[in-house]
Structure 1
Amino acid sequence: MSIENKVAEIWKAVLTVPAGQEDDTFFELGGESISAVRLVSRIEDELDVLVDVGDIFEDDPNLAALIRTVQAKAAEAEAA
């Protein structure tokens, strides 16, 4: 499964995204600290990519932005 699909699956599971709100940001979807921890923990566990909880709080990403962040961090890890 691609990073994009896996991050989308995790996002939808953690935030329970209602129909029609797929482009909403983390906070618009009711995200809070425990949701952010669950997101980054599952991304780390399932994709082996480290994302900082601070990235979620500082950027208030929507799904597309989070996918870009995870892809960039995956690429950084591969290059290291």
Structure 2
Amino acid sequence: MSGNHPGELVLPVIEAKVAEIWKQVLDVPDGSEDATFFDLEGESIAAVRLVSRIEDELGISVDVGDVFEEDPNLDALVRMVAGKAAVSPAA
């Protein structure tokens, strides 16, 4: 992301980047696209890595506790990140 400017963040960019981070951090096997964080055997270090990379690469702060409380799948995590960035689904 060039400079992490919030104005550059549109939903397709967030979706693509969060999906990339999710798949890399959780080593998501084929056919597990709808699996939740805990379904993918996510642990605290994986949650920290997820939120750290989202913040580093998108400039959007997500609380580690949200990952544990919500047990999101990829779509839910994208919605969570988009919500924190105040990006409209119609973007």
Report if TM-score (shorter chain) is over 0.5: yes
**TM-score, length of structure 2 as denominator length:** 0.81
Whether 1:73 and 2:84 are equivalent positions in the alignment is yes
Aligned with 2:21 (options 10, 14, 28): 10
Pairing 1:30-45 to 2, within 5 Å after superposition: 30-45=41-56
Unmatched 5+ residue regions in structure 1?
none
Q: CA deviation at 1:66?
A: 0.2
Runs ≥4 residues deviating over 6 A:
none
More helix by share: 1
Q: Which has the larger radius of gyration?
A: 2
Higher relative contact order (CA 8 A, sep 6+): 2
Unmatched 5+ residue regions in structure 2?
1-11
Equivalent residues, number: 76
RMSD: 1.2
Residue identity over aligned pairs, in percent, reads 71
